[in-house]
Amino acid sequence: MNFFKRFARNRGALIGLAILLAVVAFALLAPTLYPQSPWRMVGRPFMAPLALDRFPLGTDTLGRDIASGMVHGARVSLMIGVVSTIVSLLIGVPLGAVAGYAGGFVDDALMRFTEFFQTIPSFALAIVMVAILQPQLGSIVLAIGIVSWPPVARLVRGEVLSLRTREYVQAAVTIGQSTPRIIFSQILPNTIAPIIVLGSLMIGSAILLESSLSFLGLGDPNLMSWGYMVGAGRTRLIDAWWISFFPGLAIFLTVLALNLAGEGLNDALNPRLARGRE
């Protein structure tokens, strides 16, 4: 209960959580709210918001319902954000744990490998990967995962490095536990809090990355996404601003919400780091 109390003390975090829940609700209800494909042309193109009750957010250059695109896009954005974050955690956590626990040469080698990825501009790498692998859901998730794991590895390595010298880890060595067991049952459970916080922030940046890729036309052509909608409307920004504006606003709010909630999680999970002397 204490956890929720500490989380709730951060008002921004509550706002973030509320926005997030709304986005998730829209994403889940998308097939019921708009059973038709968001790609279908349903009306005249360039209809302004609220011009017709049927299209509260208007229609785009080809007469597709923007509201329908928004809710279906929420599914894609959230799914890609979550899945690609899981992918990068799956790469980063074991790598960081091994580097931190083994130390010495192994640590040096793994960290140089990590730095290799950090020195390449992540967006450029993602573009190249998606272009080579064909723009499909799987390859987009993989590309985002691969460019975003280095911070995870560094964080986990640092945590493990400090936990490894704790007395309870030494005690586990003296009772004869095997190294993998020590890492999994003694060390990693104690690094979960910062990983969760980092993870929640990474979902936000993954959504941004996916939007940028779709904006450039490298999204999955079968999936409606917010980034694609912004990109599709950009040539008519002056006379039909709503085509780009609403999906852009959705990206902005969702990423903001994730950051606010992540901050709240940080306060709740690391009570000692919370601001102000208690």
Q: Residue 64 pairs with which residues in a beta bridge?
A: 41
Is residue 189 part of the contact set for another protein (CB under 8 A)? yes
Is residue 277 part of the contact set for another protein (CB under 8 A)? yes
- Contact predicate 63/42, CB 8 Å: yes
How many residues make contact with another protein (CB under 8 A)?
Answer: 20
Q: How far is the CB of 180 from another protein (least distance, A)?
A: 12
Choose the stretch contacting another protein; rule: CB under 8 A; options: 38-46, 70-78, 186-194, 224-232: 186-194
Q: How far is the CB of 7 from another protein (least distance, A)?
A: 17
Among 37, 185, 222, 235, binds another protein (CB under 8 A): 185
Among 3, 113, 168, 252, binds another protein (CB under 8 A): 168
Q: How far is the CB of 108 from another protein (least distance, A)?
A: 14
Among 109, 133, 171, 249, binds another protein (CB under 8 A): 171
Is residue 186 part of the contact set for another protein (CB under 8 A)? yes
Report the candidate in 193, 203, 178, 201 with the shortest Cα–Cα distance to residue 79.
203
Nearer to another protein, 138 or 180 (CB): 180
Choose the stretch contacting another protein; rule: CB under 8 A; options: 79-87, 115-123, 143-151, 270-278: 270-278
Is residue 178 part of the contact set for another protein (CB under 8 A)? yes
Is residue 44 part of the contact set for another protein (CB under 8 A)? no
Among 4, 272, 273, 276, binds another protein (CB under 8 A): 276
Distance from C-alpha of 259 to C-alpha of 114, rounded to nearest angstrom: 25
Is residue 35 part of the contact set for another protein (CB under 8 A)? no
Is residue 104 part of the contact set for another protein (CB under 8 A)? no
Hey, CA dihedral for 271, 274, 277, 278, is it positive or negative? negative
Is residue 172 part of the contact set for another protein (CB under 8 A)? yes
- Contact predicate 60/69, CB 8 Å: yes
Indicate the burial class of 185 (C-beta count within 10 angstroms; 0-12, 13-18, 19 or more).
exposed
Is residue 184 part of the contact set for another protein (CB under 8 A)? no
Size of the chain, expressed as the number of residues it contains: 278
| Percent helix / strand / coil, the chain, rounded to 5 | 75, 0, 25
Q: Supply 37's token pair.
A: 């494909």
Q: Residue 41 pairs with which residues in a beta bridge?
A: 64
Distance from C-alpha of 88 to C-alpha of 143, rounded to nearest angstrom: 10
Rounded to 10°, the helix 2-9/242-269 angle is 130
Q: Supply 188's token pair.
A: 């990693």
Among 63, 151, 190, 241, binds another protein (CB under 8 A): 190
Is residue 11 part of the contact set for another protein (CB under 8 A)? no
Residues 6+ apart with CB under 8 A from 127: 213, 216, 218
Give residues in contact with another protein (CB under 8 A): 166-168, 170-178, 181, 185-186, 189-190, 276-278
